[in-house]
Amino acid sequence: MSQESGHYYVPAPSAYPIIGSTALLCIMTGAALTMNKIEYGTGVLAVGFAILIYMLFGWFGTVARESESGKFNKQVDMSFRWGMSWFILTEVMFFCAFFGALFYMRNLSIPWLEAESSVLGNSFWSSYNGAWPTAGPGVHEQFTPMGAWGLPAFNTMLLLLSGVTCTLAHHALKENRRDALKNWLLATIFLGALFIGCQAYEYMHAYSDLNLKLTTGAYGSTFFMLTGFHGFHVTVGAIMLTVIYFRSLAGHFTPEHHFGFEGVAWYWHFVDVVWLGLFIFVYLM
């Protein structure tokens, strides 16, 4: 069932979905045990991640070999495109939930609490001022909010620049300029890694100098949830780009057949756009 035969390629039955489900079950169980300080939790968590890594290398390796052997026709290519599109849509909805929580607190719940505090007499939060950023009523621990300029602005520049280098790598691939493809891919990976390093430094600065923590009420929880999950997505994207780089070194992809690259590029541009939203609504506003 080659590409020229016009048939839709159907892969052989695989155990990888079961292996992946087992890995996720171990990870969730291990995480729950670890958070509750139950013995063997970290061991179960480590086993889950080991199985997940094995599954990812095996499954994606199989897909890459099938692609390079010419088994995927236009129908299969279209199914991959739809699959990646739906995946990115779920990621968009994931971040929309956290942006929605931020909007709800800043524009609805905190003003309600501020208005309610004026009629509660000598309540422990009767003098609550709901100006954002705030930890919320009843939280008296002082903290300094993270400023927009400086490191956050530098990180914004890094991600925007990485979007440019990723696009240049894509154009180089379509023009069959392999050396330029590898160089621009390396530049994108470097910028992504530098972003992750800067964000780690920002977190250390927040904890040690600003007393800003995940437990710092409304502001701290939304700040770290949004920026932390974004940092996780940047890490995943950088790993994906690294895989694409090594596949490029191995001679994979042609100007006409390279959805593996395109799918990762879509994901990376999605990460860039999400950061712009974060910079505006979390840092600037």
Highest average pLDDT, of 95-109, 182-196, 257-271, comes from 182-196
Who's near 173: CB < 8 A, 6+ residues apart?
Answer: 181, 248, 253, 255, 258, 261
231 and 199 Cβ atoms separated by less than 8 Å? yes
pLDDT at 201 exceeding the cut of 70: yes
pLDDT at position 4: 46
How far does CA 106 lie from the centroid of its chain?
24
Alpha carbon distance 206, 244 (integer Å): 34
pLDDT at 240 exceeding the cut of 70: yes
Residue 93 pLDDT level (bands cut at 50, 70, 90): very high
Distances (CA, A) of 272 to 162, 191, 250, 277: 8, 12, 28, 9
Q: How many CB atoms lie within 10 A of CB 233?
A: 19
Alpha carbon distance 57, 105 (integer Å): 41
pLDDT tens-digit readout, 70-88: 777 788 778 888 988 999 9
Q: What is the DSSP letter of 256?
A: S
For residue 66 the two structure tokens come to 């099938």
pLDDT at position 3: 45
Rounded to the nearest integer, the mean pLDDT of the chain is 83
Given CA atoms 160, 163, 165, 167 in this order, what sign does their dihedral have? negative
Q: State the pTM of this model.
A: 0.82
